Amino acid sequence: MFGVFGLDNDTETMHSGTITKIERQKRIKDRYNLFIDEQFAFSVHEDILIKHRLVKGTVISIDDFKVIIHAQEKQQAYLDAIRLLAVRLRSEHELKVRLKQKGYEPNISAITIERLRQEKYVDDMLFAEQLTMQRIRSQKKGRHWVKQELQHKGLQSQHIVHALEKVDEETEYRHAFDLVFKRYRTEFAEDSVKARRKAMGFLMRRGYSSSLVSRVMRDLVQAYGAANEDELDNNEGEFEEY
């Protein structure tokens, strides 16, 4: 396999020898090119250079070569994961997928995830809570929509259940009511039956439960005084759970 940091990991390309030159890369300041017996051998991160005491004159064996390559690959996977997390928070599953796309083997990804977990950079429980609150409060999505997104991100069922349990039903209701009030208030005043059908479909597609949608519709209809209870009950059964 071709190494993710520009070196063929096949042992045929590895050879023992003496480090004759160490050159700092111009484009990546914390990365160094190492030359063994005057020939370019590989490049490493500064942390690996220091940790393995790689200095001019150091004799490198084949076993040393393998250890350094493995250490560099772990370091590079870690740095790539940190850069991904700097863009936005991600679940462990999302990170594993992205690291695989970048060419890392499963064992390297597993080591990387474990290190990030220990350093508190990844926490699926916290991630599920934060994403749920963001979707509910900022985007005004319903809990069914959020549940599907959490599942898509590979979160475990206990994390999903824990996050959704923290959703306040009254907050969810107010968001749903505000959404349809702003979007359909004119239509409700003109034709409540038609407006109600459109509003119900709109809320269901955003992941609100049928019981919450029915409550919103009932309160809207009562507020406008445009339909009777029998008419409302007859229309509620036309919608299934999201």
Of the candidates 145, 141, 151, 232, the residue with the CA atom closest to the CA atom of residue 192: 232
Every domain of the chain and the residues it spans: 11-87, 124-165, 169-236
Q: Does domain 11-87 have CATH number 3.40.50.300?
A: no
Mean pLDDT of 219-227: 67
d(CA 74, CA 110): 10
> Greater confidence, 242 or 125?
125
Residue 150: predicted pLDDT:
97
Q: Give the pLDDT band (50/70/90) at residue 240.
A: very low
Taking only Cα atoms into account, the Rg of the chain, rounded to an integer number of angstroms, comes to 28
Mean pLDDT of 102-131: 96
- Average pLDDT of the chain is 86
Mean pLDDT of 217-228: 69
Say yes or no to pLDDT of 147 above 60. yes
Lowest mean pLDDT among 136-145, 174-183, 229-238: 229-238
Q: Give the pLDDT band (50/70/90) at residue 228.
A: very low
Percent of all residues in the chain with a pLDDT value above 70, rounded to a whole number = 86
- Run of H or E including 187: helix 169-190
**Per-residue pLDDT tens digits for 15-71:** 788 999 999 988 888 889 999 999 898 888 898 998 888 999 999 888 888 899 899
